[in-house]
Amino acid sequence: MMKPFKRDEVEERDVQQAAELPVSTASFEELYNRYANDVLRMCYFYLGDRQRAEDVCQDVFVRLLTNTPTLQEGREKAWLLKVAVNRCRDLWRGAWLKRVVLGSPAFELVPAPDEIGELSDQQEMMQAINQLPAAFKEVILLHYYQGYGIGEIAEMMDLPEGTISSRLSRGRKKLESLLKGDEAQ
Amino acid sequence: MKRLEQLPEITNQALGGLTADAAMKQRIYETATTRHYHMTSPARWIPAVCAGLVLVAALGTGIPAMLRNTSVEEGKLITTISAGDGEAVMNENMISSLNNNSVKVGSQSTIPAFRSLWEKASSGSFPMIGMNGCYYRLMTSPADVPAEVLGERLDEVQSFTTEPALTNTNVTMSNCVPSGTSVYAVKNMGSTLIVARLNGVNRLFQRVSFNGSALLGKETLADTLQIGGHITMMELSGVGVVDDKTTCEKLFNTLIAYADYASSGSISSEQSLLIELDNGLTVQLMIKNDKLGACGVWSCPEFFEQYAAAVR
């Protein structure tokens, strides 16, 4: 049977409940220090726009502070990435981003100072991933970049595992053809 | 694909300079505090609630009267056409040729054949109304939109033209509805549907892309297809009918969440998705492979996968 799709259930949840900032400062600091870079880079990888990636990352952590999310121990990063991906998707599926960002020069790398000059191969790969359709890009990033398994991604995205597998497979094929230059997305 | 397995290292090298710094953390704290204040300060929301109650009370007594006063008047549109106007002759011909069938989604067979609800073009362009940058195509169903689903009066057709592609929508224009005809919203349907009086009956128009124009500004599919929460049935020709409301809404949510904008064009095919709404109206999207088209073309393989699963 079809598994229901629930859009970012946390975002809709009782924002009014926030009588005080529900996540303790210590917890927030710990989560921010551990995962904010991952969230930011994931958003940048998804959107290809630094300012918007920072906006989304900021919004994700604001939600962490204000929306009373129920975070399972060990699943905090999954929650952060789920909210981030949903936010990125909201932006991406809007025509505005496609018109403005896809029409702009290629995805730019932001290397650490000591890595500059060694990145031509990486750039090609990352540009190709950035050009993938959103549905493929999400699963490729969550699986290959963030290391989540198919079952975890399915749970995160509220989709059947078969759909995630299929997207991974199709995403890989699409990526391969992009890298071979078979098609221009 | 070997390099894909190395993506974490590649990304950490390539984006190593992209860090969430202390300044961002500070902004997060500031925003969270402000948002928290706005959410919890009774001084902010009590007046808004009171104002809302007053508004509801006012609308409760005012809307029926407004509807009575603004309902479409029989025969008004024909009399507004200037005598001797050549366009009026064309318009009357078009009116007389209209097909007024009504469609009941999913009522015919388990695996429905292709049905299109678009009114066919009788000249170069399909019958339409252009208004505020949006284009709406005349539909064959229903034969007469019930007055109770009409929303507010939006405007009136100011320009009748046989060349809509050459006419911008700074003025409300049409190639089938005469000048002076009122255009109405449909309740709870946003900009998806409008109604105008034609040949003595209320006719439905659905928002579509036309002449390379589809979305406005930051619009998404959710903006041009504002039917969520009102779907009672779906019919995908050649595939099947889904008549469970909950499943229909889930499918629609999938569509809205995953549809990827492909172009501002349209789809010409012999497959359609008909979506019946709780107000008795039906909207249509044309289908080709994993793409859907109405106001722009959208790719959404996830929707078709889930639709097939739901039918099974």
Determine contact: A32 vs chain B, CB below 8 A: yes
Q: B307 to chain A nearest CA, in Å?
A: 8
Q: Which long-range contacts (CB under 8 A, 24 or more apart) does B156-160 make?
A: B156/B180, B156/B181, B156/B182, B156/B183, B157/B129, B157/B181, B157/B183, B157/B196, B160/B81, B160/B87, B160/B88, B160/B91
Interface of A with B in 93-112 (CB under 8 A): 93-96, 98, 109-112
Q: What is the DSSP letter of A117?
A: T
- pLDDT of res. B234: 96
Interface of A with B in 75-94 (CB under 8 A): 89, 93-94
Q: What is the pTM of this model?
A: 0.52
How far, in Å, CA of A143 to CA of B7, rounded? 10
Which one-letter amino acid corresponds to residue A120?
S
- Set of chain B residues whose Cβ sits within 8 Å of the Cβ of A145: 7-8, 11
- Set of chain A residues whose Cβ sits within 8 Å of the Cβ of B306: 2, 5, 163
pLDDT in tens, B219-266: 889 999 999 999 999 999 999 999 999 999 999 998 998 888 888 888
A126 vs B224, more confident: B224
Closest CA to B181 of B278, B71, B285, B76: B76
Q: Are B307 and B295 in contact (CB under 8 A)?
A: no
| Total residue length of chain A | 185
Nearest 5°: the CA angle B193, B199, B202 is 30
**Which of B5, B7, B9 to probe by mutation at the A interface, max A CB count within 10 Å?**
B7
Determine contact: A27 vs chain B, CB below 8 A: no
By C-alpha distance, the chain A residue nearest B17 is A112
Cβ within 8 Å, pair B40-A16: yes
Q: Are A145 and A42 in contact (CB under 8 A)?
A: yes
- pLDDT of res. A9: 37
Q: Is the pLDDT of residue A20 over 80?
A: no
Q: A32 to chain B nearest CA, in Å?
A: 8
Closest CA to A32 of A71, A78, A69, A64: A64
By C-alpha distance, the chain B residue nearest A48 is B15
Q: Which residues contact B109 (CB under 8 A, 6 or more apart)?
A: none
pLDDT in tens, A21-61: 456 766 888 899 999 999 999 999 888 888 889 999 999 99
| Total residue length of chain B | 312
Cβ within 8 Å, pair B13-A112: yes
pLDDT band (50, 70, 90) for residue A117: low
pLDDT band (50, 70, 90) for residue A118: low
Phi, psi of A7 (to 5 degrees): -80, 120
By C-alpha distance, the chain B residue nearest A93 is B260
Residue B303 CB neighbours (<10 A): 24
What number of CA atoms fall less than 13 Å from residue A63's CA on the CB side? 25
